[in-house]
Amino acid sequence: MSTTNAPTLFILNKNYSSWSLRPWIVLRHLGIPFNTEIYRAEDFSTKPSTDPARPGLVKNDPQLEAFLSRAGPSRKVPALHVPRDDGLGVFVVHESLSIIEYLAEDHPHLWPTNKRHRALARSLALEMHAGLSALRNYYPMNIRQQHEFDEARFHSVPGIEADVSRVNQIWIQCRAAVLADPELAAHDEGFLFGRFTIVDAMFAPVVSRFTTYRLPVESKAKEYMETVLSFKPMKEWTAEAKKEVQIIKED
């Protein structure tokens, strides 16, 4: 159902789109009314452009191309269309972290209140955004599937062991810091800084990947995963992802 004068979030398949998941769960957590424009693609592959005005690669799916063009000038999702106060159309915020930062302007509690905690949270959010590339590339989000742990693949792909170890380290150290800090422990809900913050949104798809591929996880890190998986917006997204029928080959 469309909500008049509410922002609209453009996203792709909930089963596959990790970047779409991040701002969606923040919006749901905040209880902000918003509309969703979703295109459930079945082909993410690309081909060379034949249009000199648009060099580079284009999607093989013309409908997906049209959807991405509507999403915004970057032609990527997620993108948030926000109605302008003057009523003259919308302005577009694109990229997951930028959308969430835009929401944090009016909801500063999305970051920890302590300056030191906030700096660390931003560092970890950006590390997730720009790093852990082996994990993201070789273990794509696929909520519907459940795999047995592939030890041979895990040990053969460069960077995977280091990324998985780093994720375990982040989750364990953050949770230990919460329990040791009275300020954080007073509002502890099991998240990386006690209560839900932007960092948890950034790591939510990683929790999904660890679950799908049964990647090695230490007990304290697993407790954090269980917190994220039981988070109401995450449960909603997961349930909707499992209803999708589209299959992306070589995902």
Residues 89 and 28 in one domain: yes
**Of 41, 72, 106, which residue is a domain's last?**
106
Residues 57 and 22 in one domain: yes
**Of 106, 124, 154, which residue is a domain's last?**
106
Instruction: Give me the phi and psi of 35, to 5 degrees please.
Output: -95, 155
Q: Distance between CA atoms of 87 and 26, rounded to whole angstroms? A: 25
Q: What is the pLDDT of residue 85?
A: 87
The domain that contains 41 carries what CATH number?
3.40.30.10
Residues 222 and 180 in one domain: yes
Q: What is the pLDDT of residue 147?
A: 95
The domain that contains 194 carries what CATH number?
1.20.1050.10
Residues 148 and 230 in one domain: yes
Q: Distance between CA atoms of 40 and 11, rounded to whole angstroms? A: 9
Query: What is the C-alpha end-to-end distance of the chain, expressed in Å?
Result: 31
Find out whether 242 and 34 touch, Cβ atoms under 8 Å: no
Is residue 249 in some structural domain? no
Domains in the chain, number: 2
Residues 76 and 132 in one domain: no
Q: Distance between CA atoms of 100 and 24, rounded to whole angstroms? A: 9
Tell me which residues of the chain have a pLDDT lower than 50: 53, 55-57, 251
Q: Distance between CA atoms of 251 and 246, rounded to whole angstroms? A: 12
Q: Distance between CA atoms of 17 and 12, rounded to whole angstroms? A: 6
Instruction: Read off the pTM.
Output: 0.91
Is residue 20 in some structural domain? yes
Tens digit of each residue's pLDDT (9 = 90 or more) over 155-185: 999 999 999 999 999 999 999 999 999 989 9
Is residue 1 in some structural domain? no
Range of the domain at 53: 8-106
Residues 54 and 117 in one domain: no
Tens digit of each residue's pLDDT (9 = 90 or more) over 96-105: 999 999 999 9
HSE (CB half, 13 Å, CA atoms) of 121? 29
Residues 44 and 96 in one domain: yes
Helical (H) or strand (E) element with 155: helix 151-156
**Of 106, 139, 160, which residue is a domain's last?**
106
Is residue 247 in some structural domain? no
Q: Which two tokens stand for residue 148?
A: 């047995």
Exposed/middle/buried for residue 4 (C-beta within 10 Å: 0-12, 13-18, 19+): exposed
Report the sign of the C-alpha dihedral through residues 148, 176, 22, 153, in that order.
negative
Is residue 90 in some structural domain? yes
Give how far Cα 79 sits from Cα of 7, 92, 147, 177, 236, Å: 10, 7, 31, 34, 20
Helical (H) or strand (E) element with 92: strand 90-94
